[in-house]
Chain A
Amino acid sequence: MTLARLRRQSIGYALIAPAMLVAIVFLFVPMIVSAFWSFTEYNGVRPPTWVGLDNYATLLGNARFQRSFWNTVAFVVMGMGLGPPLGLASALLLNRALAFRGLFRVAFFLPVMTSLVVVATIWKMLYNEGGLINTVLTAFSLPGHGWLSDPGTALPAIVVASVWQGFGFETVVFLAALGGIPRDYYDAAKVDGAGRWAQLRHVTLPGLRPTILFVYIIGIIGSFQVFDQIFVMTQGGPVNATRTLVFHLYDKFNSLDLGEASAVAYFLFVVLASLSWIQFRFFGERE
């Protein structure tokens, strides 16, 4: 290694040192300590007692935790089934020469910049028995509904609010990616007689493959961590219908059961790491 190269690397290490230090102190050390807690009975006051895999065994055998897991999966499936396609559709529309295109872009992105708590509060008001949604239904002689009180509609209602809040982000990401697909590809496709649908299928979607992968990885990770909306709108109810993994963690933490709370956190970590690996392995490799 030459002296000049060593000097260059030293400068690089010096520049990343502050960020590394912050990551070590505020991320890696707490993660390691939390991993240790997940194998202990610990309430934050008395010294932790080693219990091995008991916390994990208790969690996996707990019906309420299982319900939390499946609710989270349902939230992810519904959210990812609606959000990215909606983001892509709006990006395709906005990518065309529309009047007020800039205004629409801002309008779509505005909810993303709004606090989730504010968004959840607004949607809770919309879902109220005397709220806008029921008022409109009643105006059309349709019966109103207790959207958040009915275990059958509470989770879908939260999904709708979450998708509304988040799809603007996907729109902006897809818009940027659409700009990166060379026009030549479309011209060549047109010469070959491809219509709009064929262009979308054979040019746009393949060109967006890395972006779609990115959107789904980020979206799935974010959806698995859903909490704010649940906390504001339903507190996990009615009857566990909207209880999710992070809400379960929150409950355990509030009960000063830091051992089980940490086990939930690591269960979530393993699920997310596995899903991300699968996505990269089967969808990212072809890039």
Chain B
Amino acid sequence: MNRLTRPAVALAALALAVSACGSAASPSPTSPPATQAPATQGPATEAPVETPAPSIDTTPVTITVWDYYGEATPVKPALDGFQVAYPWITVKYEALDWDSMNEKFAVGVSAGAAPDVATLDMTWIPTLASNGVLEDLSALSGGMLNGAPIAEQYEPGGNEAMQYEGAYVTMLFDFDVYALYYRADQLESKGIAIPKTWDDLRAAAKALAEDTNNDGKPDRYLYQVWPDTFHWAQFLFQNDGSILTADKTAAAFNSPEGVAALEFYKSLIDDGSGIYWGPDQGDQMAAFKDDTIGMFQNGPYVMGLLKSGAPEMAGKWKVALAPYSKQPGSYLGGTGLGIPVAAAHKQAAWLFIQYMLRPEQQVGVFTYAGAAPATTAALESPELTKADPYFGGDAPFGVFLEAMKTATHFPYVKAWSEIQTPTIDDAVAAALLGQSSAQDALDSAAEETNSLLEK
């Protein structure tokens, strides 16, 4: 695309987008070849000035960073330390929100106004990577992160999730796997054992639920049933099912394992122990507080939400490995740090990513956002392994770390975003609402998935 047509294309992208926002990166000097910055130790604010390797271009540059973490971000507090360590790089920090980040990133990329670094949900990576939006970080990094091989700094699942067609396209910053959150106080008072299998879960959910207004429908301590791919996929993986075939050319989620997983998920609603969490259920935190929800499966970031949103519930919640049917399993997601191919300052952007992945910054993912840092060094830090009074003196991060070992990321195919939402989401909702049987809903979604994969 030439220089004359580029502005028109950018305007067209903006006109097409329903909501758009972007920021232009500053002019770029030619990016130097791949380099590796030496790692430094110590707190972010005391970071010494880096002595740049000879191959690093120290021409003053400004990089743009898009961050969707919100107020509890671990990125913003690290900026001062980064500025001290790399005085020739100025960071133009822009706070966005998760809900609108995907479309803003799409607009930024197509309009030629992409940032240099962005926080990206790992479920967006298949679409972004397959469309050639993300820079090949293998080439940019030489396979090294802060002086050590990238592969050695992540769990195998995390390491695999960062790659598309054999090349790193993002660096995992925080990880998301699902575990079971349960009202420990209620389970204890009612003598219910922590569920370890699906049968246990069904029995525990039934014993936990209460009908306080005697209308025949339980209304307290219910199992939260989200009608989406994320939550149903846990059951699919736990039942030895998979989303696509091994060669990723056809849907596999409508297998007997998938149908059984959806039927089990629906049974939690049918027997009254689960609550369909549709758009008219209101605020989830309110439902935690007023005892509507007694159990749910979700990622480590909910620990932070609970602590900040319901501090008065300290000691009432605990976390355990998700119950399973045939094998432990969870989806693997989280937040990755990525560099768009159109980024103006890729070398400086890579230095920024490396800085954010040092252990001291990674711990900030937990201390600021209450989420789970992704690198193994950070996961072993005392801040994360110590007992947490909010969760009854347990160290819940260990549960998520254990879950990560058997977690699977969603398939890296170009059509993934459409396969997930709306295709599988709709099938799950249709079955849960009783609009069609689990088999019919999944068969219909599989047919649509196959046509999306062929495209």
Which residues of A come within 8 Å of B, CB atoms?
25-27, 29-31, 33-34, 37, 43-47, 58, 63-64, 124-125, 127-131, 146-151, 227, 233-240, 243, 246, 249-251, 253-256, 258, 261-262, 265
Contact = CB atoms under 8 A, between A and B. Distances in A.
A243 B435 CA distance: 17
23 contacts: A25-B11, A30-B14, A34-B16, A45-B133, A64-B422, A124-B279, A124-B280, A128-B280, A128-B282, A129-B280, A129-B282, A131-B282, A146-B276, A146-B278, A146-B280, A148-B278, A148-B279, A149-B281, A237-B278, A237-B279, A249-B18, A251-B418, A251-B421
B127 interface: yes
Given A45-B132, A151-B435, A239-B426, 8 more contacts: A26-B15, A30-B11, A45-B133, A131-B282, A237-B426, A239-B435, A249-B18, A254-B417
Contacts of B227: 237-238
B433 A235 contact: no
B280 A147 contact: yes
Contacts of B282: 125, 128-131
Interface of B: 1, 5, 8-9, 11-18, 102-103, 106, 109-111, 127-128, 131-133, 227, 276, 278-282, 341-342, 415, 417-418, 421-422, 425-426, 429-430, 433, 435, 448, 455
B278 A238 contact: yes
Given A129-B282, A131-B280, A255-B418, A237 B429 contact: yes
Contact of B12 (A30, A236, A256): A30
A262 B16 CA distance: 7
B45 to A, nearest CB: 37
A250 B18 contact: yes
A255 B279 contact: no
B13 A44 contact: yes
A153 B390 CA distance: 41
A45 B417 contact: no
B106 A254 contact: yes
Contacts of B422: 64, 236-237, 240, 243, 251
B150 to A, nearest CB: 24
B454 to A, nearest CB: 11
Contacts of A47: 1
Contacts of B106: 44, 253-254, 256
Chain A CB count within 10 A is highest, among B102, B278, B279, B430, for B279
Contact of A253 (B18, B133, B278): B18
B11 A255 contact: no
Nearest to B275: A129
A240 B17 CA distance: 21
A166 B106 CA distance: 31
A45 B130 CA distance: 11
Nearest to A153: B280
Contacts of A37: 12, 16
Contacts of A151: 433, 435
A42 to B, nearest CB: 8
Contacts of A127: 280
B279 A149 contact: yes
A30 B280 contact: no
Given A29-B8, A34-B12, A47-B1, A255 B417 contact: yes
A146 to B, nearest CB: 5
A47 B11 CA distance: 16
A149 B225 CA distance: 13
A58 B448 CA distance: 12
A254 B281 contact: no
B18 A34 contact: no
Contacts of A27: 15
A129 B282 CA distance: 8
B334 to A, nearest CB: 20
Nearest to A236: B422
Sorted nearest first, the 3 A-B pairs with minimum C-beta distance are A44-B110, A149-B278, A33-B12
A37 B14 CA distance: 13
A69 to B, nearest CB: 15
B451 to A, nearest CB: 9
B433 A254 contact: no
Nearest to B14: A30
A256 B131 CA distance: 8
A238 B429 contact: yes
Nearest to B340: A45
Contact of B433 (A43, A149, A250, A262): A149
A149 B280 contact: yes
A64 B421 CA distance: 12
Contacts of B128: 256
Given A34-B15, A238-B278, A253-B18, A45 B127 contact: no
B110 A258 contact: yes
Given A237-B426, A254-B417, A45 B342 contact: yes
Given A129-B280, A131-B282, A255 B127 contact: yes
A30 B8 contact: yes
B198 to A, nearest CB: 25
Contacts of A240: 422, 426
A120 to B, nearest CB: 11
Contacts of B418: 251, 255
Contact of B109 (A26, A30, A44): A44
A124 B415 CA distance: 31
Nearest to A31: B15
B176 to A, nearest CB: 20
Contacts of A125: 282
A128 B422 CA distance: 23
A33 B455 CA distance: 24
Contacts of A253: 16-18, 103, 106
A128 B281 CA distance: 6
Nearest to A37: B12
Given A44-B110, A238-B227, A254-B102, A149 B15 contact: no
Contacts of B133: 43-45, 256
Contacts of A30: 8, 11-12, 14-16
Contacts of B279: 124, 148-149, 233-235, 237-238
Chain B CB count within 10 A is highest, among A44, A64, A128, A251, for A44
Contacts of A34: 12, 15-16
A63 B110 CA distance: 28
Contacts of B131: 43-46, 256
